[in-house]
């Protein structure tokens, strides 16, 4: 594989890294699917649930604001924000797939940080859902597909992180980094 800047890979990319890159592309696809599910969920049920929860709050005062009007404003904001977040997530997955596939160690580190943040968010969401269910609180309606994605995504992230850091992948990142440094040194010397 060659680089547009004249760097070439000193060794063949290991299968472990290739699988990690495929996993990142799959993660990008899943982020698009998840975003599509956001727009296909039952907004009427979500609005009803939000109104009910707002009206149950001890500080709710209908003379200050109407819960129905508030929900009519908030739900489209949630959907648009979710779409923007989905596009950003898709872009990050693809960017990390391309850069990690090229053996860029900074991309491996960045992907690891983003993966850790993703896992923390997943655990937080599961904890929040479990806590609400245990305490009898409201939970947002989730389709079976959303639940499946909520389970698949963290498993995919863990698999990718492991594949990025196993010995063959680490050796590849080291070899590519060393070759790029040698080429840069030759470029600056000549």
Q: What is the pLDDT of residues 144-161, one digit of tens each?
A: 777 788 889 999 999 999
Q: What is the pTM of this model?
A: 0.80
pLDDT value at 101 more than 60: yes
- What gap in Å lies between CA 190 and CA 15, rounded to an integer? 35
């Amino acid at each position: 594989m060659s680089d547009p800047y004249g760097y070439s890979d000193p060794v063949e990319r290991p299968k472990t890294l290739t699988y990690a890159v495929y996993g990142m592309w799959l993660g990008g696809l899943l982020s698009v699917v998840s975003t599509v599910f956001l727009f296909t969920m039952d907004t009427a049920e979500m609005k009803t649930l939000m109104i009910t929860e707002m009206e149950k709050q001890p500080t709710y005062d209908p003379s200050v604001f109407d819960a129905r009007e508030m929900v009519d404003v908030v739900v489209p904001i949630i959907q648009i924000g979710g779409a923007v977040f989905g596009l950003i997530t898709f872009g990050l997955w693809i960017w990390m797939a391309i850069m990690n596939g090229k053996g860029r160690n900074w991309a491996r580190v960045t992907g690891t940080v983003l993966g850790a943040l993703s896992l923390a968010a997943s655990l937080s969401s599961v904890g929040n859902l479990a806590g609400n269910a245990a305490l009898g609180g409201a939970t947002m309606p989730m389709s079976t597909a959303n639940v499946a994605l909520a389970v698949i995504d963290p498993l995919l992230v863990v698999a990718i992180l492991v594949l990025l850091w196993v010995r063959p992948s680490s050796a590849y990142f080291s070899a590519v980094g060393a070759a790029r440094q040698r080429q840069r040194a030759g470029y600056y010397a000549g």
